[in-house]
Amino acid sequence: MGSSKEIVTNMFASGGITVNGNNPWDLQVRNPKLYDRVLAGGSLGFGEAYMEGWWDCEALDEFFFRVQYHRVDKMIPRDLNTLKYFLKAKFSNQQTKSKAKEVAHKHYDIGNDLFELMLDKRMIYSCAYWETAQTLDEAQEAKLDLICRKLKLEPGMSLLDIGCGWGGLLQYAAEKYGVKGIGVTLSEEQAIIAKEINKGLPVEIRVQDYRDVHEKFDRIVSVGMLEHVGYRNYRIFMERVNENLADDGICLLHTIGGNYSTKVTDPWIAKYIFPNGMLPSAAQLSTAWQGLFILEDWHNFGVYYDRTCMEWRKKFEQSWPQLNVKYGDTFYRMWRYYLSASAASFRSRKNHLWHIVLTKPKHLGLYKSIR
């Protein structure tokens, strides 16, 4: 057994990363206590050490790509903090109605100014569709149109958007496809903008838990919401969609998904970015809708999330002079770490972005898939 420095150095070397090396993706150690902290604190300690300036890396996204592609992250020891998050997720429901509000307050209510500067003009905080688009605005609009076409929207239809964000999808669907919609979010900050941009449109925005919606809709959509539902509630989510969807209706789920069924998320992400969140697997979701829905289409374009995250990071960095006074340097490092690691998770094919189209057993005829 070597020293903590040797162990950590060899661990990263297995992913082509040289500690204090010359490549842009190499780790630059600023505090020699880092090695002990990685072994003692796992991924949580490693992320916090970056926030505190204990290490740096020029190409953070490339560093994380190598860590994830070569599974270096699996070599980082599991410590007591990791065990605490694992046990908490395993033995308690982290997405009850009261706990579900935590992510709204901790992440989405940080400040609309941050998201206005980081996102596209419609403030769409989910994977863009880069098939033919050149800019972030174009790619997000292409994604919204793709969703509307997959839902086969027609004028006069009613649309429920579960986790409606800042209301951009409902605005687009109402203006371009002539539907009337209801959006539910747990974020008070998001609701303010969502109501504002949908003024004069047949759209209602509610601060409401999806479990409290009991109405019928022609179409149901959920974009970037399933990641907050939790494995204990996937079936409940599907049952609520089933209750609220018309017999001949269509549901589209836009969600990040992972290669493995898990019950936890990364401890650093859980503590600083998305409390109580987790990524569903294909097995978990298909089990959850069994007997309720027919699977019509499953589209994976997760590689586009890499480019989306990098565009967000670029806009965030460009806007930092306007945000610095309010948010401070530790937040800057935290947010850059989050966006870089996220981009890398899709680049390495560790995570994916799925469009899942579901119909009810009473829905007859062929569903023609759209790309």
Of residues 289, 299, 282, the one with CA closest to residue 358: 289
The predicted model gives 163-177 an average pLDDT of 97
d(CA 59, CA 63): 6
How crowded is the C-beta side of 308, counted as CA atoms within 13 Å? 28
Number of CB atoms found within 10 A of residue 102's CB:
18
d(CA 299, CA 295): 11
Q: Is the pLDDT of residue 84 over 70?
A: no
Band of residue 317 on the pLDDT scale cut at 50, 70, 90: very high
The predicted model gives 26-43 an average pLDDT of 92
* Cβ proximity of 247 and 216 under 8 Å: no
φ and ψ of 358, to 5 deg: -125, 145
- Whether this model's pTM surpasses 0.85: yes
d(CA 265, CA 279): 7
d(CA 214, CA 57): 50
DSSP-derived letter for residue 40 is H
Q: Is the pLDDT of residue 83 over 90?
A: no
- Please state, rounded to an integer, the average pLDDT across all residues of the chain: 91
Band of residue 159 on the pLDDT scale cut at 50, 70, 90: very high
What's the sign of the alpha-carbon dihedral 361, 364, 366, 370? negative
Q: Is the pLDDT of residue 109 over 80?
A: no
Cα 96 → chain centroid: 19
All domains in the chain, ordered by first residue: 4-105 (no CATH), 112-359 (3.40.50.150)
Q: Quick one: pLDDT at residue 24?
A: 98
